[in-house]
Amino acid sequence: MSLIAPLRRQLPRVVRRAPLLTSVRPSRTLRFHYQSFSTTTANMSFSNTDTGSKTADPYVAKNLDEPSELKEKVGDLISFVDKSKYCMMTTRIASSGLLVSRCMALAAKEGNGVDLIFHANSESGKTDDLESDHDINLAFLQPSGEWASISGIASIETDREKVRKYYSSGLKAWLGDLGDGKHDGGPEDPRIILIKVKAKTAQYAITRSAAGALGNLVEFAKGVATGETAQVNKLRHLDESELQQWRSSSQ
């Protein structure tokens, strides 16, 4: 559920859902061919220099981490998401094609932990966004600099049994009781829906040092003093096939 109750737009709902003919969306082909953590100028569609045989992005090259077990790779992501709880959810505005983000609190997980569920108000702008474009991104961040970015496909769940399963009494504080005996913020309030995000790819960075932020600070200071690239994070990427393999492992 968004931490700030969204302001209702004044235009009629049917108008708000009508996409502008001038809206421009990135090609799916380009998005699907995105290469994560590129480290050489040869792999870049835009480059401002030529580093020759030297690594163009030494930070990425030095911090890339590929554990041998998928369990570790996915498990660390799930643990980080649980620890963070709050994320920025990015959707595309139906009426303009622009991107917008709002803070959301994780309500539950499915798909062996990689598909994320959020509460939402059916009358908020994000439901219009998702009806127009199901592509979504979730960005988690910690003060330490650890982060995770999950891209996926969102679906709106209105089934009351599922809503009741994940219902939280705290939702009353966000929806309020309208006093009509129906819209009371309770589990049967038709405004309460679920947004389920089926992850397609995930990228994340967690701290490498056992000493945490202090260890990273030492590594950073060493890099400033010597010019040696700091090795502070474990940078990892999960593709669609790995996430599907992980879902299937729970069956």
Q: Which pLDDT tens digit goes with each residue over 206-250?
A: 986 555 565 566 555 655 666 566 666 788 999 999 999 999 997
* Burial category of 218 from C-beta neighbours within 10 Å (exposed 0-12, middle 13-18, buried 19 and up): middle
Among residues of the chain, what percentage have pLDDT more than 70? 71
* Burial category of 3 from C-beta neighbours within 10 Å (exposed 0-12, middle 13-18, buried 19 and up): exposed
Per DSSP bridges, beta strands 135-141 and 147-157 are antiparallel
Q: Which pLDDT tens digit goes with each residue over 56-110?
A: 776 677 667 788 899 999 999 999 999 999 999 999 998 899 999 999 999 999 9
Look up the CATH superfamily of 56-248: Electron Transport, Fmn-binding Protein; Chain A (2.30.110.10)
The ranges assigned to domains in the chain are 56-248
User: What's the CA gap between 76 and 114, in Å, rounded?
Assistant: 11
pTM for this structure? 0.76
